Amino acid sequence: MPATVLVVEDELKIRDLIRRYLEHDGLAVLTTGSGTEGLTMLATQSVDLIVLDLNLPDISGETIAAEVRSRSVIPILMLTAKSTEADRIRGLELGADDYLTKPFSPRELVLRVQAVLRRSRASTGETATSSFGEGTLVIDEDRHDLVVRGQGIELTPTEWVLMLALTGAPGRVFSRAELINRVRGYEFDGYERTVDSHVKNLRRKIESDPHEPTIVETVLGAGYRLGIRRDR
Ligand code: CA
């Protein structure tokens, strides 16, 4: 399962930017601009990490962090406009696992989120491994490992992002344009037929018969989908 990140940030532009980057990285993202709603979402949904703005219009980030810490160990990455050492120490004292001072680079945020998730998984003994098709395909998001029929597969960065997208939503059809969006930023020229050639290479590596693919299926006129189910 991809990790779920809850983003509590009242500035719409920053919130959307964070969502885009985290989703591009293969994470599931919930967002809200309200601290109250954030606490409700935490109580009702499964969340693996919180990106929390310190300065919110309804409840302060400090109060939310204290509330979260009083009942759970969900890691918190704080976003703060305050940059003095005293404020930073205060944030960490309130139970934040890490913090970023605005303005921040979204790429930096993604790296911090990954690092905090890795630490938290390591401490709870969880792994980021998902298995599909009764063990036919096993993907480890943290270690960037793909194993198909017991064989480790070497993927290019583009192929890796395609696999992350498809395994993130088994059975869902992804259009070529959508897949281009996922891999933008890697070595991609943005043409839809480029997706086809990456899929062709990917199939050569993972399908037992690349001409009759069962893992990465073509949906005529629509795109591609993962043809095997997630194992429970
Ligand atoms: Ca704010």
Reported as a single tens digit per residue, the pLDDT across 3-54 is: 999 999 999 999 999 999 999 988 999 999 999 999 999 988 889 999 999 8
CA–CA gap between residue 162 and residue 179 (Å, rounded): 7
pTM confidence score: 0.58
**Sheet containing 129-132: order of strands:** 129-132, 137-140, 145-148, 151-152
CA–CA gap between residue 4 and residue 28 (Å, rounded): 5
Rounded distance from Cα 8 to ligand 1 centre (Å): 9
pLDDT at 185: 55
187 pLDDT higher than 60: no
pLDDT at 188: 57
Rounded to 5°, the CA angle 215-218-223 comes to 120
pLDDT at 88: 66
Rounded distance from Cα 38 to ligand 1 centre (Å): 14
Question: Mean pLDDT over all residues of the chain?
Answer: 88
Domains of the chain: 4-121 (3.40.50.2300), 129-226 (1.10.10.10)
Rounded distance from Cα 12 to ligand 1 centre (Å): 9
62: confidence class by pLDDT, cuts 50, 70, 90:
confident
- For 45, the 3-state DSSP assignment is coil
How far the first Cα of the chain sits from its last, in Å, is 10
Rounded distance from Cα 112 to ligand 1 centre (Å): 19
Q: 149 or 186: which carries more pLDDT confidence?
A: 149
